[in-house]
């Protein structure tokens, strides 16, 4: 499994994005030491500590918003950061920053095909 970078699971509603993401986190948790932080709305799968320490944050319960949680994430020295879904420019900016600073960032993006996914990402950053 990659040690750093950005991995996006893309698909339509009910296509298995969250299930695939949970399987990847479970694999990492069972096979590598480290610190995994998840930020989700809501938490869909509970991950017990195995080889990794897993801290799960639920938007609206443990934090007011994705943005508030993401601003404080690096202070907790994570190896892996799971963002439940990228829905805004600020969330995408954080995901890219995490990947660029040597972390592994995993997330989902709602789109029906690869072209639509790229369009959504580009549209997060409008031309000035």
Q: Which domains does the chain have, with CATH numbers?
A: 5-123 (3.40.50.300)
pTM of the full structure: 0.93
pLDDT in tens, the chain (128 residues): 788 999 999 999 999 999 999 999 999 999 999 999 999 999 999 999 999 999 999 999 999 998 899 999 999 999 999 999 999 999 999 999 999 999 999 999 999 999 999 999 999 998 87
Q: Starting at the edge strand that comes first in sequence, how are the strands of the sheet with 80-83 ordered?
A: 5-11, 104-110, 80-83, 34-40, 52-58
């Amino acid at each position: 499994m990659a040690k750093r970078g950005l991995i996006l699971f893309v698909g339509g509603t009910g296509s298995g994005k969250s299930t695939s993401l949970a399987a990847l986190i479970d694999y990492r948790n069972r096979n590598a030491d480290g610190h995994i932080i998840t930020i989700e709305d809501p938490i869909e799968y509970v991950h017990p500590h195995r080889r990794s320490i897993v801290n799960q944050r639920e938007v609206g319960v443990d934090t007011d918003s994705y943005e508030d949680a993401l601003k404080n994430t690096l202070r907790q020295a994570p190896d892996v950061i799971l963002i439940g879904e990228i829905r805004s420019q600020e969330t995408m900016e954080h995901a890219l920053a995490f990947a660029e600073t040597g972390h592994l960032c995993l997330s989902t993006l709602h789109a029906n095909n690869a072209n639509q996914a790229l369009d959504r990402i580009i549209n997060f950053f409008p031309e000035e």
